């Protein structure tokens, strides 16, 4: 069966546990994020060209690809950093507007955040990746009338001010010690 | 087995509205990345985490209900988020180990 006509049945393959490492150059404030598979996040300061990068944060996560069990198509998701859900922090943010509007029809919108491209631009999933990710999550659903909508992360109005729930394993512990 | 049926057999109470659904199995983890990787629609997710991320991850994979063990409290905004996406949060005083032992004995496995 050709990949074009296949009604894909996706499953996760190549799942790798690791960390999203965020580093910052203390000279120019340049931020970079990448996926690391070390058992403990790398925290050493290092120099690269004019930059001196320092560890800022590490968030445990998984990296995976999708494989169609019917036609054998593999969709690499190596550039996918994390999936996030809008917290409605900016009223006129496109992701907020879509999320609120879609929720009325039990369509739950999420954003796909990607690693920056090698030239430092905000990364994004291509249409094949977005389609596969949407098909993968929607195929799992059993609740009647419910749908998942994965949107590109660039729908966020202002990533620096975005307070979205990012699905990584960091910040999970409540601050309330009595909890 | 539905959530309501399971509640009659195992000590747990809903902390928000009860959205009764069929339970197809379960998983025990405190990591949202595990849920995205191995969680299945209809699963009961047993955890001690009470963060809003739990609801976002549970909704993404259509988890039937989340069980918070050890009687941990859950903030009102988390319960509100769970209501919105129609996922029941259940509380049990039991430790995760004991809770899973009981539900496993009732036939709920990871791939039921």
Q: What is the ipTM of this complex?
A: 0.91
> How distant is the Cα of B9 from the closest Cα of chain A, in angstroms?
24
pLDDT at A120: 78
Q: Is the confidence at residue A2, as pLDDT, over 70?
A: no
* β-pair partners for A46: A53
The rounded mean pLDDT for chain B is 95
A9 membership: H or E segment, kind and range = none
pTM: 0.90
Residue A3: pLDDT band (50, 70, 90) is: low
> How distant is the Cα of B105 from the closest Cα of chain A, in angstroms?
24
- b/e sequence A38-76, b meaning 16+ C-beta within 10 Å: eeebeeeeeeeeebbbeeeebbbbbbbbbbbeeeebebe
Section A101-124 average pLDDT: 92
A165 touching B, CB under 8 A?
yes
For chain B, the structural domain boundaries read 3-105
CB distance A137–B60 less than 8 Å? yes
pLDDT at B48: 95
Report how far residue B70's alpha carbon sits from residue A91's, in angstroms, rounded to the nearest whole number: 38
Q: Domain spanning B3-105 has what CATH number?
A: 3.40.1390.20
Kindly report which listed range (A42-46, A55-59, A174-178, B94-98) carries the lowest average pLDDT score. A174-178
CB distance A108–B60 less than 8 Å? yes
Q: Is the confidence at residue A112, as pLDDT, over 90?
A: yes
Choose among A141, A165, A178: nearest Cβ to B62.
Answer: A141
How far, in Å, are A47, A52, B83 from residue A147 at the CA level?
46, 44, 16
Section A13-35 average pLDDT: 91
Q: Give the residue from B82, B32, B75 showing the smallest Cα distance to B57.
A: B32
Q: Is the confidence at residue A175, as pLDDT, over 60?
A: no
pLDDT at B6: 97
Q: Which tens digits make up the pLDDT trace of B64-106?
A: 999 999 999 999 999 999 999 999 999 999 999 999 999 999 9
Q: Give the residue from A153, A133, A12 showing the smallest Cα distance to A85.
A: A153
């Amino acid at each position: 069966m050709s990949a074009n006509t296949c009604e894909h049945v996706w499953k996760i393959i190549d799942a790798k546990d690791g960390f999203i490492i965020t580093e910052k150059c203390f000279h120019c404030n340049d931020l970079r994020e990448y996926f690391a598979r070390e058992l403990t996040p790398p925290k050493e300061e290092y120099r690269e060209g004019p930059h001196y990068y320092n560890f800022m944060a590490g968030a445990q996560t998984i990296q995976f690809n999708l494989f169609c069990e019917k036609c054998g198509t593999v969709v690499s998701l190596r550039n996918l950093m994390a999936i996030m859900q809008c917290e409605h922090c900016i009223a006129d943010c496109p992701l907020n507007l879509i999320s609120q509007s879609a929720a009325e029809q039990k369509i739950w919108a999420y954003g796909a955040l990607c690693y920056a491209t090698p030239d430092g631009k905000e990364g994004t999933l291509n249409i094949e990746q977005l389609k596969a990710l949407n098909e993968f999550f929607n195929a799992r659903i059993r609740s009647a009338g419910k749908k998942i909508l994965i949107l590109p992360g660039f729908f966020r109005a202002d990533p620096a001010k975005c307070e979205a729930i990012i699905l990584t394993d960091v910040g999970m512990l409540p601050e309330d010690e009595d909890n | 087995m539905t959530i309501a049926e399971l509640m009659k057999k195992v000590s747990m109470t809903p902390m928000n509205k009860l959205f009764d659904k069929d339970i197809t199995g379960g998983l025990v983890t405190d990591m949202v990345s595990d849920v995205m990787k191995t969680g299945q629609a209809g699963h009961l997710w047993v955890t001690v985490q009470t963060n809003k991320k739990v609801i976002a991850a549970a909704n993404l994979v259509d988890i039937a209900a989340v069980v918070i063990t050890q009687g941990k409290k859950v903030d009102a905004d988390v319960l509100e988020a769970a209501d919105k996406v129609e996922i029941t949060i259940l509380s049990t005083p039991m430790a995760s180990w004991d809770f899973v032992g009981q539900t496993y004995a009732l036939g709920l496995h990871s791939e039921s």
